[in-house]
């Protein structure tokens, strides 16, 4: 079953997750100060540049854990406007899955030959894996910007370069621990997300733009 494929992991997988999570305590609520005019201008320029890049690919190490379970492995994510292809692979051939989807559908395929189709990727992941991971929002968060939808305004804290240092949105807190330059953009290198039930750590090893840059 898929749930056991990714959540009932061997002890060395848990050890790997511990190393990925080392140095990351649970994030506490924060009350950011309003940014200076310089930081606000840098931030607006940054958001415009990131949003202009609609096609991108990342390769990352990922570790996720809840109160009862943990998992770590590799993530490959290719986004082309509103469609995506994602693969999660556990180390040492322990299995994995691939997601292919768009705004109205998602197909999940596993390494042991199972296939599921649904309209909502978040619900599918929860039903099959027990993860409440908001992939629609993560599409923005992983690139260092908030989801542009309406609702309650996010809380934003910036570094000295006008990039996000911390973000609170939709009951999630996100901390940006490092950035790297890719095709003229400063994109996140290390991201830590948590919502009280699930903690996720991403170490992004490679970004690629839609035209095949790096």
Give 114-168 pLDDT, tens digit per residue: 999 999 899 888 887 777 889 999 999 999 999 997 678 999 999 999 999 999 9
- How many structural domains comprise the chain? 1
Alpha carbon of 177 to those of 23, 89, 103: distances in Å?
11, 24, 30
Alpha carbon of 35 to those of 50, 71, 110, 142: distances in Å?
20, 37, 45, 22
pLDDT tops 80 at residue 214: no
Q: Residue 97 domain-assigned?
A: yes
pTM of the model: 0.85
Give the domain CATH number at 133: 2.50.20.10
The tokens for 81 are 């406007």
Q: Residue 100 domain-assigned?
A: yes
Q: Residue 189 domain-assigned?
A: yes
109-120 burial, b at 16+ Cβ within 10 Å, e below that, comes to bbbeeeeeebee
Q: Residue 214 domain-assigned?
A: no
Give 179-190 pLDDT, tens digit per residue: 999 988 999 999
Please give the pLDDT value at position 198: 92
Please give the pLDDT value at position 93: 66
Q: Residue 86 domain-assigned?
A: yes
Please give the pLDDT value at position 13: 41
Q: Residue 51 domain-assigned?
A: yes
Q: Give the domain range for residue 131.
A: 2-209
Q: Residue 27 domain-assigned?
A: yes
Please give the pLDDT value at position 167: 97
Q: Residue 136 domain-assigned?
A: yes
Mapped onto helix, strand or coil, the DSSP state of residue 115 is strand
- How big is the CA angle at 68 (ends 67 and 71), to the nearest 5 degrees? 100
């Amino acid at each position: 079953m898929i749930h056991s494929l990714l959540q009932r992991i061997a002890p060395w997988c848990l050890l790997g997750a511990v190393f990925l999570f080392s140095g990351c305590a649970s994030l506490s609520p924060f009350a950011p100060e309003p940014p200076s005019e310089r930081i606000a201008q840098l931030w607006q320029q940054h958001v415009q540049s990131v949003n202009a890049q609609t096609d991108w690919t990342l390769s990352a190490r990922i570790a996720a854990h809840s109160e009862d379970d943990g998992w770590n492995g590799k993530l490959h994510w290719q986004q082309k406007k509103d469609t995506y292809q994602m693969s999660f692979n556990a180390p040492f051939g322990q299995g994995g899955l691939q997601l292919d989807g768009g705004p109205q559908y998602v197909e999940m395929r596993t390494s042991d030959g199972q296939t599921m189709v649904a309209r909502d990727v978040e619900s599918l992941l929860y039903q099959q894996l027990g993860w409440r991971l908001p992939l629609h929002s993560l599409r923005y968060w992983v690139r260092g910007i908030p989801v542009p939808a309406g609702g309650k305004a996010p809380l934003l804290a910036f570094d000295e370069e006008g990039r996000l240092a911390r973000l609170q949105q939709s009951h999630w807190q996100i901390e940006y621990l490092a950035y790297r330059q890719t095709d003229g953009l400063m994109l996140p290198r290390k991201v830590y997300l948590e919502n009280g039930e699930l903690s996720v750590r991403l170490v992004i090893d490679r970004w690629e733009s839609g035209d095949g840059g790096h």
